[in-house]
A and B are shown apart, each in its own frame.
Chain A
């Protein structure tokens, strides 16, 4: 089977077994992510976003449906994937450099030790951590730890990067800094990226397409194509076009939360009307 998608989910259905019976989280979820594209997934809390990352990374297998990575069906974890979480999970007993180089100790990489070291130093430079190679994680701030975690997830040149709310615990300014770092990294070497987030601005600023998941059990309720030309800057978030996209996403989230009426209905022209509509539903 061939397709142009780097990541493809076909009718994926998944449920967790709980004491109170099965808890369905994903319901016939289908998604396509082209090679070297950036996809952000947003949705209400507990709608199965993190489940999605575990399925794509191969840490879990879906009950039904298939996950494909680069035209191969995913049945187990694979070294062409890099992951970063909200918790940077750096190993406290290692230096930053040793942390970044950890994946190279696990996978059989074509890289020699010297090449790995060079790459680690290069990545650290890209994220602005030059000079911190020999520090312990406990000596770094939250934002710096997350930068180091990003370097670690990219050290083995993964084709796919999976980010599960990596900027969620950071303060607003650090977060925006890291968004720009993400753009720099992708400019340097393209990779396909799947980002799970709660932050709509983040999704619009970073992604080529934003997928809104419905409430649990989740399917793809809405897909927004973000077309901002050229290299993005934070100013692009304050253009009328961006504001409109954010409004669309916000409306879709409310629909997913069951607070607004059906997704087929056209979006209200301005905010007061939208909130009035909410009032009627509630």
Chain B
């Protein structure tokens, strides 16, 4: 392993360990009881105690988040394309989108749960989608609408069709912005999934496990759920980073 790789792995691990140590120390110094503040050392036993549940619930949360995110990517890209290419659509859709995005999704959860009563998976995916498509739509539309006219002219002067211009230039040029938005959308989608799982409990996902921890005043369990969520979030985030390297690696400049 090169020094570079060692540093890349060691430095985040070191920082995480440091933060956990400070946390443990604070709980110990102030002698906080479990029902006020759990300490990191309480978490491992909890993970072990509920290991089957953690696996099942994590999977439920993960697949529904990814499904919602997938729909958000398709829908957000489509809306972004429409807004990027048509000024009328951009001017018309922006206030609508901003208004929709401004509605706290926690208030939408009970409504959705009422409309599609009993459709738990569908509802959860729907909220994950609703909360995460906005940054994708905006970034794609900005990427397309800010395409310098010379880029278009270079191909148009050769008689290229609009589709060719989109495929050869607009799409690849927008990829860095798209992936930037996707990183934001990943974490948002998790918030969406958990909102549904906690606000409208239906016995599924990590949100349900969190809720049972709350009902039983099991603080260490609640904190353990938060850690599991963070781990899932990091996992998905780095999948996006990996895809970005493959598809938009050219946008990354060599250091120095």
In the assembled complex, which residues on chain B have CB atoms less than 8 Å from the CB atom of A87? 148, 150
Q: How many angstroms between the C-alpha atoms of A89 and B148 in the bound complex?
A: 9
Q: How many angstroms between the C-alpha atoms of A87 and B248 in the bound complex?
A: 22
Q: How many angstroms between the C-alpha atoms of A192 and B126 in the bound complex?
A: 60
A92 and B251 form a contact (CB under 8 A): yes
Check if B156 is an interface residue, CB within 8 A of chain A. yes
Interface size of B by Cβ–Cβ distance < 8 Å? Answer: 22
Q: How many angstroms between the C-alpha atoms of A156 and B155 in the bound complex?
A: 13
Main secondary structure of the interface of B (DSSP, over half): helix
**Which chain B residue has the least Cβ–Cβ distance from A81?**
B157
Check if A57 is an interface residue, CB within 8 A of chain B. yes
Most chain B beta-carbon neighbours within 10 Å: one of A57, A89, A105, A136 = A89
A102 and B168 form a contact (CB under 8 A): yes
In the assembled complex, which residues on chain A have CB atoms less than 8 Å from the CB atom of B153? 54, 57, 59, 83, 85
Interface size of A by Cβ–Cβ distance < 8 Å? Answer: 27
A83 and B157 form a contact (CB under 8 A): yes
A91 and B169 form a contact (CB under 8 A): yes
In the assembled complex, which residues on chain B have CB atoms less than 8 Å from the CB atom of A152? 154
Check if B164 is an interface residue, CB within 8 A of chain A. yes
Check if B253 is an interface residue, CB within 8 A of chain A. yes
**Which chain B residue has the least Cβ–Cβ distance from A95?**
B250
**Which chain A residue has the least Cβ–Cβ distance from B175?**
A93
Within 8 A of A (CB), among B124-171: 148, 150-151, 153-160, 164, 168-169
Check if B203 is an interface residue, CB within 8 A of chain A. no
Within 8 A of B (CB), among A25-59: 54, 57-59
Check if B92 is an interface residue, CB within 8 A of chain A. no
Q: How many angstroms between the C-alpha atoms of A76 and B153 in the bound complex?
A: 12
Check if B110 is an interface residue, CB within 8 A of chain A. no
A93 and B250 form a contact (CB under 8 A): yes
Check if A267 is an interface residue, CB within 8 A of chain B. no
Check if B172 is an interface residue, CB within 8 A of chain A. yes
A76 and B159 form a contact (CB under 8 A): yes
Residue B159 contacts which of A79, A89, A102, A138 (CB distance < 8 angstroms)?
A79
A59 and B157 form a contact (CB under 8 A): yes
Q: How many angstroms between the C-alpha atoms of A103 and B169 in the bound complex?
A: 13
Q: How many angstroms between the C-alpha atoms of A89 and B159 in the bound complex?
A: 17
Known: A106-B155, A106-B164. 7 other contacts (CB 8 A): A54-B153, A78-B159, A81-B157, A81-B158, A89-B154, A91-B173, A103-B158
30 A-B pairs with CB atoms under 8 Å apart are A54-B153, A57-B153, A59-B153, A76-B159, A77-B159, A79-B159, A81-B157, A83-B153, A83-B154, A83-B157, A85-B150, A87-B148, A89-B148, A89-B151, A89-B154, A91-B151, A91-B168, A91-B169, A91-B173, A92-B251, A93-B251, A102-B155, A102-B168, A103-B158, A106-B168, A107-B159, A138-B253, A139-B254, A152-B154, A156-B158
Q: State the A residues within 8 Å of B (CB).
A: 54, 57-59, 76-79, 81, 83, 85, 87, 89, 91-93, 102-103, 105-107, 136, 138-139, 152, 156, 162
